[in-house]
Amino acid sequence: MTSHTKSIYGLIGNPLGHSFSRSFFNDKFKNENINAEYLNFELPDIGDLMEVIAEYPDLRGLNVTIPYKQQVIPYMDSIDAAAESIGAINVIKIINDGSQDVTLKGFNTDCIGFAESLRPLLSEAMTSALVLGTGGASRAICYALKQLGINVTPVSRTAKEGRITYTDLTPEIMATHKLIVNTTPLGMYPDVHTCPDIPYQLLTPEHLCYDIVYNPEETEFMKRSAKYGARTKNGLEMLHRQALAAWDIWQSSEKY
Protein backbone atom coordinates (compact mmCIF):
# COMPACT_ATOMS: atom_id res chain seq x y z
CA MET A 1 0.00 0.00 0.00
CA THR A 2 1.28 3.45 -0.85
CA SER A 3 -0.90 5.27 1.69
CA HIS A 4 0.68 6.21 5.03
CA THR A 5 -2.68 5.70 6.73
CA LYS A 6 -3.04 2.27 8.27
CA SER A 7 -6.04 0.43 6.86
CA ILE A 8 -8.16 -1.53 9.32
CA TYR A 9 -9.90 -4.85 8.71
CA GLY A 10 -11.67 -7.04 11.19
CA LEU A 11 -14.04 -9.77 12.28
CA ILE A 12 -17.49 -9.36 13.82
CA GLY A 13 -19.25 -12.11 15.74
CA ASN A 14 -20.11 -13.26 19.25
CA PRO A 15 -18.37 -14.97 20.89
CA LEU A 16 -15.11 -14.89 18.97
CA GLY A 17 -12.59 -16.72 21.16
CA HIS A 18 -9.54 -17.74 19.16
CA SER A 19 -9.66 -16.07 15.76
CA PHE A 20 -8.12 -17.75 12.73
CA SER A 21 -8.80 -14.63 10.69
CA ARG A 22 -6.97 -12.25 13.01
CA SER A 23 -3.73 -14.25 13.07
CA PHE A 24 -3.99 -15.12 9.34
CA PHE A 25 -4.36 -11.54 8.15
CA ASN A 26 -1.95 -9.94 10.61
CA ASP A 27 0.70 -12.48 9.58
CA LYS A 28 -0.07 -11.68 5.94
CA PHE A 29 0.24 -7.95 6.54
CA LYS A 30 3.57 -8.40 8.33
CA ASN A 31 5.05 -10.79 5.76
CA GLU A 32 3.98 -8.68 2.77
CA ASN A 33 4.80 -5.33 4.39
CA ILE A 34 1.19 -4.14 4.11
CA ASN A 35 0.28 -1.12 6.22
CA ALA A 36 -2.82 -2.63 7.78
CA GLU A 37 -4.12 -4.23 10.97
CA TYR A 38 -6.83 -6.83 11.60
CA LEU A 39 -8.95 -6.51 14.76
CA ASN A 40 -11.61 -8.59 16.46
CA PHE A 41 -14.93 -6.88 17.17
CA GLU A 42 -16.98 -9.03 19.53
CA LEU A 43 -20.40 -7.44 19.23
CA PRO A 44 -23.08 -8.15 21.87
CA ASP A 45 -25.68 -7.11 19.28
CA ILE A 46 -25.57 -6.64 15.49
CA GLY A 47 -26.97 -3.15 16.10
CA ASP A 48 -23.47 -2.19 17.29
CA LEU A 49 -22.08 -2.62 13.75
CA MET A 50 -22.57 0.98 12.66
CA GLU A 51 -20.92 2.25 15.86
CA VAL A 52 -17.81 0.24 15.00
CA ILE A 53 -17.77 1.64 11.47
CA ALA A 54 -18.17 5.19 12.80
CA GLU A 55 -15.41 4.68 15.39
CA TYR A 56 -12.93 3.32 12.83
CA PRO A 57 -12.97 5.59 9.73
CA ASP A 58 -10.07 3.60 8.22
CA LEU A 59 -12.05 0.35 8.36
CA ARG A 60 -12.02 -1.14 4.86
CA GLY A 61 -13.47 -4.60 5.30
CA LEU A 62 -15.01 -7.06 7.73
CA ASN A 63 -15.40 -10.79 8.01
CA VAL A 64 -18.65 -11.96 9.57
CA THR A 65 -19.09 -15.08 11.67
CA ILE A 66 -21.85 -16.58 13.83
CA PRO A 67 -24.41 -15.46 14.79
CA TYR A 68 -24.44 -12.49 12.37
CA LYS A 69 -24.11 -13.97 8.86
CA GLN A 70 -27.83 -13.47 8.28
CA GLN A 71 -28.53 -10.67 10.77
CA VAL A 72 -26.10 -8.37 8.97
CA ILE A 73 -28.01 -8.45 5.67
CA PRO A 74 -30.37 -5.49 6.39
CA TYR A 75 -27.35 -3.24 7.00
CA MET A 76 -25.98 -3.73 3.48
CA ASP A 77 -26.39 -1.14 0.73
CA SER A 78 -25.97 -3.94 -1.82
CA ILE A 79 -25.38 -7.69 -1.85
CA ASP A 80 -23.41 -9.86 -4.24
CA ALA A 81 -25.57 -12.27 -6.26
CA ALA A 82 -24.05 -15.38 -4.63
CA ALA A 83 -24.53 -14.04 -1.10
CA GLU A 84 -28.10 -13.07 -1.92
CA SER A 85 -28.85 -16.55 -3.26
CA ILE A 86 -27.23 -18.21 -0.22
CA GLY A 87 -28.93 -15.86 2.22
CA ALA A 88 -25.77 -15.35 4.28
CA ILE A 89 -22.85 -12.91 4.28
CA ASN A 90 -19.35 -13.57 5.61
CA VAL A 91 -17.50 -10.65 3.98
CA ILE A 92 -18.29 -6.93 3.96
CA LYS A 93 -16.52 -4.45 1.69
CA ILE A 94 -16.57 -0.96 3.18
CA ILE A 95 -16.33 1.90 0.70
CA ASN A 96 -15.50 5.20 2.37
CA ASP A 97 -14.69 8.09 0.03
CA GLY A 98 -13.93 10.51 2.85
CA SER A 99 -17.42 11.97 3.04
CA GLN A 100 -20.00 11.04 5.62
CA ASP A 101 -21.45 8.45 3.28
CA VAL A 102 -20.15 4.93 3.87
CA THR A 103 -21.27 2.15 1.54
CA LEU A 104 -21.43 -1.51 2.60
CA LYS A 105 -21.55 -4.43 0.19
CA GLY A 106 -21.99 -8.04 1.33
CA PHE A 107 -20.37 -11.14 -0.15
CA ASN A 108 -20.07 -14.84 0.62
CA THR A 109 -16.62 -16.38 0.16
CA ASP A 110 -17.41 -19.61 2.03
CA CYS A 111 -18.83 -20.95 -1.24
CA ILE A 112 -15.68 -19.88 -3.11
CA GLY A 113 -13.30 -21.45 -0.60
CA PHE A 114 -15.24 -24.70 -0.54
CA ALA A 115 -15.55 -25.03 -4.32
CA GLU A 116 -11.87 -24.27 -4.93
CA SER A 117 -10.73 -26.82 -2.35
CA LEU A 118 -13.16 -29.50 -3.53
CA ARG A 119 -12.76 -29.25 -7.31
CA PRO A 120 -9.44 -31.18 -7.59
CA LEU A 121 -10.89 -34.08 -5.58
CA LEU A 122 -14.01 -34.69 -7.63
CA SER A 123 -14.51 -37.87 -9.63
CA GLU A 124 -16.98 -38.68 -12.38
CA ALA A 125 -18.94 -40.79 -9.90
CA MET A 126 -19.65 -37.76 -7.68
CA THR A 127 -22.80 -36.54 -9.37
CA SER A 128 -24.80 -36.37 -6.15
CA ALA A 129 -23.90 -35.20 -2.64
CA LEU A 130 -25.32 -35.56 0.84
CA VAL A 131 -24.96 -32.35 2.84
CA LEU A 132 -25.19 -33.01 6.56
CA GLY A 133 -26.79 -30.09 8.38
CA THR A 134 -29.09 -27.30 7.25
CA GLY A 135 -27.65 -24.20 8.95
CA GLY A 136 -25.97 -21.15 7.46
CA ALA A 137 -22.81 -23.02 6.46
CA SER A 138 -24.91 -25.64 4.70
CA ARG A 139 -26.47 -22.97 2.46
CA ALA A 140 -23.06 -21.89 1.15
CA ILE A 141 -22.00 -25.50 0.59
CA CYS A 142 -25.21 -26.38 -1.26
CA TYR A 143 -24.83 -23.29 -3.47
CA ALA A 144 -21.23 -24.22 -4.35
CA LEU A 145 -22.15 -27.82 -5.14
CA LYS A 146 -24.98 -26.75 -7.44
CA GLN A 147 -22.59 -24.36 -9.21
CA LEU A 148 -20.31 -27.37 -9.77
CA GLY A 149 -23.21 -29.29 -11.32
CA ILE A 150 -23.66 -31.69 -8.40
CA ASN A 151 -27.12 -32.73 -7.21
CA VAL A 152 -27.63 -31.93 -3.52
CA THR A 153 -29.62 -33.78 -0.87
CA PRO A 154 -29.64 -31.99 2.52
CA VAL A 155 -29.77 -34.23 5.61
CA SER A 156 -31.26 -33.05 8.91
CA ARG A 157 -32.32 -34.50 12.25
CA THR A 158 -35.88 -33.32 11.59
CA ALA A 159 -38.08 -34.10 8.62
CA LYS A 160 -39.01 -31.22 6.33
CA GLU A 161 -39.79 -30.71 2.67
CA GLY A 162 -36.67 -30.71 0.51
CA ARG A 163 -34.51 -32.68 2.93
CA ILE A 164 -34.17 -36.16 4.36
CA THR A 165 -33.34 -37.35 7.88
CA TYR A 166 -30.45 -39.47 9.08
CA THR A 167 -32.79 -42.45 9.44
CA ASP A 168 -33.53 -42.18 5.69
CA LEU A 169 -29.93 -42.98 4.74
CA THR A 170 -30.53 -46.34 3.09
CA PRO A 171 -27.86 -48.45 1.34
CA GLU A 172 -29.20 -47.19 -2.00
CA ILE A 173 -28.88 -43.53 -1.02
CA MET A 174 -25.39 -44.07 0.34
CA ALA A 175 -24.38 -45.89 -2.84
CA THR A 176 -25.65 -43.18 -5.16
CA HIS A 177 -24.21 -40.26 -3.19
CA LYS A 178 -20.44 -40.60 -3.40
CA LEU A 179 -19.79 -37.17 -1.88
CA ILE A 180 -20.74 -36.45 1.74
CA VAL A 181 -20.14 -33.04 3.32
CA ASN A 182 -20.47 -32.41 7.05
CA THR A 183 -21.53 -28.81 7.73
CA THR A 184 -22.56 -29.42 11.35
CA PRO A 185 -20.30 -28.46 14.29
CA LEU A 186 -20.25 -32.07 15.50
CA GLY A 187 -16.68 -33.11 16.18
CA MET A 188 -15.37 -29.57 16.58
CA TYR A 189 -13.03 -28.90 19.50
CA PRO A 190 -13.63 -29.43 22.41
CA ASP A 191 -16.36 -32.01 21.61
CA VAL A 192 -13.96 -34.03 19.46
CA HIS A 193 -15.63 -37.41 19.99
CA THR A 194 -18.98 -36.47 18.44
CA CYS A 195 -19.92 -37.00 14.80
CA PRO A 196 -22.97 -37.12 12.50
CA ASP A 197 -25.02 -40.30 12.80
CA ILE A 198 -24.63 -41.81 9.33
CA PRO A 199 -24.15 -45.51 8.39
CA TYR A 200 -20.38 -45.36 8.04
CA GLN A 201 -20.21 -49.08 7.27
CA LEU A 202 -21.82 -48.33 3.89
CA LEU A 203 -18.93 -46.12 2.78
CA THR A 204 -16.48 -47.28 0.12
CA PRO A 205 -13.16 -46.12 -1.41
CA GLU A 206 -15.29 -44.33 -4.04
CA HIS A 207 -16.68 -41.98 -1.39
CA LEU A 208 -15.23 -38.62 -0.44
CA CYS A 209 -16.17 -37.39 3.04
CA TYR A 210 -15.46 -33.67 3.47
CA ASP A 211 -15.72 -32.04 6.90
CA ILE A 212 -15.77 -28.24 6.96
CA VAL A 213 -14.53 -28.43 10.57
CA TYR A 214 -10.76 -27.87 10.78
CA ASN A 215 -10.12 -28.17 14.53
CA PRO A 216 -9.15 -30.94 15.15
CA GLU A 217 -7.39 -31.66 11.85
CA GLU A 218 -8.93 -35.14 11.74
CA THR A 219 -12.46 -35.19 13.11
CA GLU A 220 -14.34 -38.23 14.35
CA PHE A 221 -16.40 -38.04 11.14
CA MET A 222 -13.20 -38.31 9.11
CA LYS A 223 -11.78 -41.11 11.26
CA ARG A 224 -14.89 -43.26 10.94
CA SER A 225 -15.14 -42.57 7.20
CA ALA A 226 -11.50 -43.51 6.62
CA LYS A 227 -12.00 -46.74 8.55
CA TYR A 228 -14.23 -47.94 5.70
CA GLY A 229 -11.91 -46.75 2.95
CA ALA A 230 -13.42 -43.37 2.10
CA ARG A 231 -11.18 -40.45 1.20
CA THR A 232 -11.42 -37.55 3.66
CA LYS A 233 -10.67 -33.84 3.78
CA ASN A 234 -11.03 -31.20 6.49
CA GLY A 235 -11.99 -27.55 6.18
CA LEU A 236 -8.58 -25.92 6.62
CA GLU A 237 -7.95 -25.31 2.91
CA MET A 238 -11.48 -23.98 2.54
CA LEU A 239 -10.76 -21.56 5.39
CA HIS A 240 -7.56 -20.31 3.77
CA ARG A 241 -9.13 -19.94 0.35
CA GLN A 242 -12.21 -18.06 1.60
CA ALA A 243 -9.90 -15.68 3.48
CA LEU A 244 -7.83 -15.00 0.34
CA ALA A 245 -11.03 -14.47 -1.63
CA ALA A 246 -12.10 -11.91 0.99
CA TRP A 247 -8.78 -10.10 0.56
CA ASP A 248 -9.25 -9.99 -3.21
CA ILE A 249 -12.68 -8.42 -2.69
CA TRP A 250 -11.36 -5.80 -0.28
CA GLN A 251 -8.51 -4.88 -2.60
CA SER A 252 -10.63 -4.67 -5.74
CA SER A 253 -11.04 -1.12 -7.07
CA GLU A 254 -14.52 -2.04 -8.26
CA LYS A 255 -17.15 -0.55 -5.96
CA TYR A 256 -20.08 -2.69 -7.05
Q: What is the DSSP letter of 255?
A: -
Angle between helical axes of 110-118 and 236-251 (0-180°, round to 10): 130
255 a catalytic residue: no
Compute the distance between CA of residue 191 and CA of residue 178 in angstroms, rounded to an integer: 27
Beta partners for 120? none
Q: What is the DSSP letter of 124?
A: T
Catalytic residue among 69, 93, 105, 178: 69
Q: Which residues lie below 8 Å from residue 138, measured CB to CB, with a gap of 6+?
A: 131, 154, 183
Residue 105's SS3 state is strand
Q: What is the DSSP letter of 56?
A: -
Residue type at position 67? P
Backbone φ and ψ of 197, nearest 5°:
-90, 80
Backbone φ and ψ of 170, nearest 5°:
-80, 165
β-pairing, 59-64 vs 91-96, is antiparallel
**CA 22 from centroid of its chain's CA atoms:** 16
Residues tagged active-site: 69
